[in-house]
Structures are given as structure tokens and as C-alpha cells.
């Protein structure tokens, strides 16, 4: 699959071959990153970031990637407050207009499908940097890259996802990517925050083994990857419902004793208290390294979209 000129809207777009190609390219980008040199690969190109939902981490990651590739950046960190969206311009028009001034758009929105709408009339490729509870494909890409980097393969693993799998866009994108590999899923979440039925059904239809559970203590022992996400209090129907789970999805030193010795702990960050600070120094904790991998992965992705 040639990514040149393609929109990157969903993790569904990637097949195994394109993922492995992207990961190989990311390895190359990491080498340049570590040398601390700017490339010239994106020279002449301008990236526009349109963040309708602010996010320093993701915006910085894309901007850092583009700048390191030798491209340049025009940036709107808070579209809701500082743009024509307040003048009621349609998202289609916004995409059409910004694409006259840029060669690539990276967009985040709190609304499902908003990124797709911007891409509709855009004359340049659009990358989804998170669209509501829908997807966050590049986060899932860097998650899997981090695993692949250590394991050299994704096949044969048991991939655990923990937390709010209903509203978490990262687990959704992870699931779509992982369909390409021979993995088992262990999905641990409160009863009301389970992975959407259609995603689970798709996996089952493909013959994938999926275990759903509410019990992290029990299931964590099986996981080769523990992909954590936040469980937000406001997602629960009642305070009693929340209290039932309070603390049970917290990864602390005690819980880490139950985790496989060669497992990898992932988290898209920011974390609040779902991973204790005491875990940070554990060699299995990869969530800060993921941030750095994310710059390299996005360099590879941008390069592929701009140049093929």
C-alpha cells in the first residue's frame, strides 16, 4: 500500500505489509533522531495543525516530526477559540481553504467524523490526530511500533487492553491494527465501559480469540502487552458504580508483581493515577519511551504520505 497522498483517517486503512514497511521506516527515522540532525526530506512542504481539541503532546509530536524532516509548520492550537469555526464556516470549507496554504493537515477534534469532513474537500492529505471517541490511529501505530521494536514481531502475543474501552479512541485504533496479526485479546474494563460490540464482533468473525473481563488482578498475568488507558469518573452512571472499580485498575508495584517479566506496559498519557509513579522506573514501563517513538513514527508516516 502506497501512502503517498493518502488521508490517514483510520487504523483500518493499514494492512500487515504497510505496517511492517512503516515500522521499518520508523527505525531509520529513529537513527536520525538520535543523531540530532534535521533531514531535508520534507523541504518545501508546510504542515498545518488544526486542533479543535487542544493537546500539547500530540501537536508537539507532529510538529517536532515535521520540523525534523526539514518541513515547516503553521499551527492553530485552539481552533474553537481562534478561528472562523466561530464564524460558522463549514468543516468542508475549512479543509478546502487550509489545503490552499499547506501541503499536509493534521487535525484533532472532539467530534466523531469531523476529521473526515475536513478531508472531504481538502486538496492535500489530512491525518487524524484523534476524533472524539472514534479513533486515534497514529497513537495506536506508535503503540504497536513500541512493541514491535522490542519483540521484532507482533504475532503470537496476548495483547491486554485495560480501562475505558468504550470511549477510549486509542483502544479502538489498536484493535483495528492488531487484526493484521496473530494475537489474542484480553479486554479488561468495567461492565459499562466495554469495547464496542461491533469491534468485538469483527474480531470474533475473523476467528480472533477475545477474552472480556472486569478483573485486572486475574487477567494481567496472561498479558504480553498491558495497554493502559484512563478510566474517567464522569463516565460512570453513578458514584456507587464508580466506587466498585475505584483502584482496581491501578497499576502499582504490587500489581506489577503479577505482570510477566518480559511484558511491556503502554499508556498514551497523560496518566493521572492509573499507573503509580513508582512503576516509572520498572524496565517494563515503556510509556515515556513511547513519546519519543511517536516522533519517529510520525516522521515516517509524514514522509510516506508526502513522498510515498
Query: Catalytic residues, which ones?
Result: 57-58, 87, 108, 136
CB of 277 to its own copies, least distance (A): 8
CB of 193 to its own copies, least distance (A): 18
CB of 302 to its own copies, least distance (A): 14
Nearer to its own copies, 72 or 184 (CB): 72
Give dist(CA 4, CA 8) in Å, integer. 10
At residue 37, what are phi and psi to the nearest 5 degrees? -115, 145
Give how far Cα 263 sits from Cα of 15, 231, 249, 250, Å.
25, 22, 17, 17
Q: Cβ of 223: how many Cβ atoms within 10 Å?
A: 24
CB of 118 to its own copies, least distance (A): 12
Residue 226, H or E segment: strand 225-228
Q: Interface residues with its own copies (CB under 8 A)?
A: 35-38, 43-46, 48, 50-51, 54-57, 59-61, 63-64, 67-68, 72-79, 81-84, 86-90, 92-93, 96-98, 100-103, 269-272, 277, 288-289, 291-292, 294-295
Q: Cβ of 243: how many Cβ atoms within 10 Å?
A: 11
Using alpha carbons, select from 291, 281, 218, 303 the residue that is nearest to residue 255.
218
Nearer to its own copies, 40 or 221 (CB): 40
Nearer to its own copies, 143 or 219 (CB): 143
Nearer to its own copies, 12 or 96 (CB): 96
Amino acid at each position: 500500500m502506497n501512502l503517498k497522498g493518502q488521508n490517514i483517517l483510520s487504523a483500518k486503512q493499514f494492512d500487515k505489509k504497510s505496517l511492517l514497511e512503516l515500522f521499518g521506516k520508523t527505525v531509520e527515522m529513529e537513527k536520525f533522531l538520535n543523531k540530532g540532525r534535521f533531514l531535508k526530506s520534507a523541504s518545501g512542504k508546510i504542515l498545518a495543525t488544526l486542533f479543535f481539541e487542544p493537546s500539547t503532546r500530540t501537536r508537539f509530536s507532529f510538529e517536532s516530526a515535521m520540523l525534523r524532516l526539514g518541513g515547516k509548520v503553521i499551527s492553530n492550537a485552539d481552533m474553537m477559540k481562534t478561528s472562523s469555526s466561530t464564524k460558522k464556516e463549514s468543516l468542508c470549507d475549512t479543509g478546502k481553504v487550509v489545503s490552499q496554504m499547506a501541503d499536509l493537515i493534521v487535525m484533532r477534534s472532539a467530534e466523531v467524523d469531523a476529521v473526515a469532513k475536513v478531508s472531504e474537500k481538502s486538496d492535500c492529505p489530512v491525518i487524524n490526530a484523534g476524533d472524539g471517541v472514534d479513533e486515534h490511529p497514529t497513537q495506536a501505530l506508535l503503540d504497536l511500533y513500541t512493541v514491535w521494536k522490542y519483540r521484532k514481531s507482533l504475532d503470537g502475543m496476548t495483547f491486554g487492553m485495560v480501562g475505558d474501552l468504550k470511549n477510549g479512541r486509542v483502544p479502538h485504533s489498536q484493535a483495528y491494527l492488531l487484526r493484521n496479526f496473530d494475537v489474542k485479546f484480553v479486554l479488561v474494563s468495567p461492565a459499562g465501559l466495554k469495547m464496542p460490540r461491533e469491534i468485538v464482533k469483527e474480531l470474533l468473525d475473523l476467528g480472533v480469540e477475545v477474552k472480556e473481563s472486569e478483573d485486572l488482578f486475574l487477567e494481567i498475568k496472561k498479558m504480553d502487552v498491558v495497554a493502559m488507558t484512563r478510566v474517567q469518573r464522569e463516565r460512570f452512571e453513578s458514584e456507587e458504580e464508580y466506587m466498585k472499580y475505584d483502584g482496581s485498575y491501578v497499576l502499582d508495584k504490587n500489581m506489577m508483581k503479577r505482570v510477566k517479566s518480559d511484558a511491556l506496559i503502554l499508556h498514551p498519557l497523560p496518566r493521572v493515577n492509573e499507573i503509580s509513579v513508582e512503576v516509572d522506573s520498572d524496565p517494563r514501563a515503556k510509556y515515556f519511551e513511547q513519546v519519543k517513538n511517536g516522533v519517529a513514527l510520525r516522521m515516517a508516516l509524514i514522509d510516506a504520505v508526502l513522498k510515498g
